[in-house]
Amino acid sequence: MSAWESAQFQLAEAVRQLGLDDGFHDLLRTPRREITVAVPLRRDDGHVEVLRGYRVQHNLTRGPAKGGVRFHPATDLDEVRALAMWMTWKCALVGVPYGGAKGGVAVDPKKLSRNELERMTRRYMSELIPMVGPEKDIPAPDVGTDEQTMAWMMDTYSIHSGYTTTGVVTGKPVSIGGSEGRGGATSRGVMYSAFCALRDAGLTPADMTVAVQGFGKVGALTAQYLHDAGCRVVAVSDVQGGVYDPGGLPTASLARHLRSGAPTVVGYPGTDPISNAELLELDVDILVPAALEGVIHQENASRIRARFIVEGANGPTTPDADQILQENGILVVPDILANSGGVAVSYFEWVQDLQAYFWSEDEVNDRLKIMMERAYAQVSNLAAERKVSMRTAAQMIGVGRVAEAHRTRGLYP
Ligand code: NAD
């Protein structure tokens, strides 16, 4: 099942549970605006390549659109649509006044020089200028993009405007209007969600075993925070494969290893190799998928042995796998809840930019914790009350709030 099919399936289930009619269902499933742009890139050797870029604004009813930008070779319009739709429900669920959006360019950023990456990012942003802005649509980092990407996007937009507009993107470096705490916010939120799940099960983090798929922006810091909280992180991986140590991995050294230029965690001294497929099936307490969509599917779901799956990635579990996991008593803390810390602190960053008044890291982290715990409690209460999965409960809250906003605003004309 593709990400877009999964997103549609999940929406249909929430619509059914909420008792919304077909017209409403259509309104909620149809992206408001979609744009495909050509991104001509002059390579360093002088030849020109034309890449394909996308931006989808799935819904704008609760506020400006908000969502990440992905640079990945497999990115296409359907994937961007799915990710944009999940952003709509996520923003509503965690209680930030945004609609959902997503964007991307079909490219492998690792194959571009730094100068090529900068030219491509700036050209992509300049193509989006009619669509984005602090009151319209606010991009942020996702797979294959980072703080530097956001800095180039902000600069490009500002040069076109004739004045500095920090609030046009979030996830920027702190030196140019970024927020303290944004870099670790998604991972911190994953950790808070995991702790809520443990607490409800009468467990504490001490010596809980953890496996993390994807050792990027989200996965590496999730592994670090869980390690710091007393968990034993036994396996982590990236696109090239993984490393395993039943006694616990040195998460900080692994991250330093990558920062100092190593291309992968694979082969880190003192660890055993493990494939991405094997990592997902490890007998651990907590599994954190933090890479791409669709990695837990019909074929491997019955072999998953983790007690809790806390979704750092968007859409890592397909609906047929969800069914199997539920039957096997595995608690899935769904993406739109577990990874919503990123958009929560992006919201804080945007508010700080608009007010030109900046908060301390403690203030950011404290507010994030309150928002995440509140959202978790709402989801878990509804799941218990309606006897549905955490995913369906989370979707019902997100979809229900967007439907309510549509109803209150009315249909124009
Ligand atoms: P990233 O590019 O920083 O890291 C991605 C990681 O996944 C890398 O370690 C990469 O090697 C690995 N990876 C890529 N393909 C893989 C594969 N086929 N198998 C195994 N590993 C693979 O991206 P990120 O920002 O950390 O995003 C990871 C996930 O979290 C995505 O699903 C993204 O949408 C989601 N997410 C990110 C944020 C954020 O703030 N960055 C917020 C919410 C959700």
288 within 8 A of 210, measured Cβ to Cβ: yes
Report the distance separating Cα 259 and Cα 411, nearest Å: 51
User: How many alpha carbons fall within 13 Å on the CB side of residue 9?
Assistant: 15
* CB of 237 sitting under 6 A from ligand 1: yes
Taking the alpha carbons at both ends of the chain, their separation in whole angstroms is 37
Residue nearest to atom 33 of ligand 1 (CA): 313
Reported as a single tens digit per residue, the pLDDT across 143-199 is: 999 999 999 999 999 999 999 999 999 999 999 999 999 999 999 999 999 999 999
* CB of 80 sitting under 6 A from ligand 1: no
149 within 8 A of 169, measured Cβ to Cβ: no
Residue 83 pLDDT grade (very low, low, confident, very high; cuts 50, 70, 90): very high
* CB of 215 sitting under 6 A from ligand 1: yes
- Give the pLDDT of residue 235: 98
Report the distance separating Cα 398 and Cα 337, nearest Å: 10
Mean pLDDT score of the chain, rounded to an integer?
A: 98
Task: State yes or no: is 66 an active-site residue.
Answer: no
- Give the pLDDT of residue 207: 83
* CB of 291 sitting under 6 A from ligand 1: yes
Q: How far is the CA of 214 from the centre of ligand 1 (A)?
A: 6
Q: How far is the CA of 154 from the centre of ligand 1 (A)?
A: 22
pTM score? 0.98
Q: How far is the CA of 304 from the centre of ligand 1 (A)?
A: 20
* Distance set, CA 274 to CA 188, 239, 319, 364 (Å): 26, 12, 26, 36
Active-site choice (102, 172, 217, 369): 102
Residue nearest to atom 39 of ligand 1 (CA): 142
Which DSSP string do the residues of 238-259 spell out, in sequence order? Answer: ETTEEEE-TT---HHHHHHHHH
Report the distance separating Cα 208 and Cα 210, nearest Å: 6
3-state class of 306 per DSSP?
A: coil
Residue nearest to atom 31 of ligand 1 (CA): 313
Reported as a single tens digit per residue, the pLDDT across 190-241 is: 999 999 999 999 999 998 999 999 999 999 999 999 999 999 999 999 999 9
Residue nearest to atom 38 of ligand 1 (CA): 142
Q: What is the mean pLDDT of residues 292-312?
A: 98
3-state class of 296 per DSSP?
A: strand
Q: How far is the CA of 289 from the centre of ligand 1 (A)?
A: 9
* CB of 8 sitting under 6 A from ligand 1: no
3-state class of 230 per DSSP?
A: coil
290 within 8 A of 317, measured Cβ to Cβ: no
Q: How far is the CA of 139 from the centre of ligand 1 (A)?
A: 16
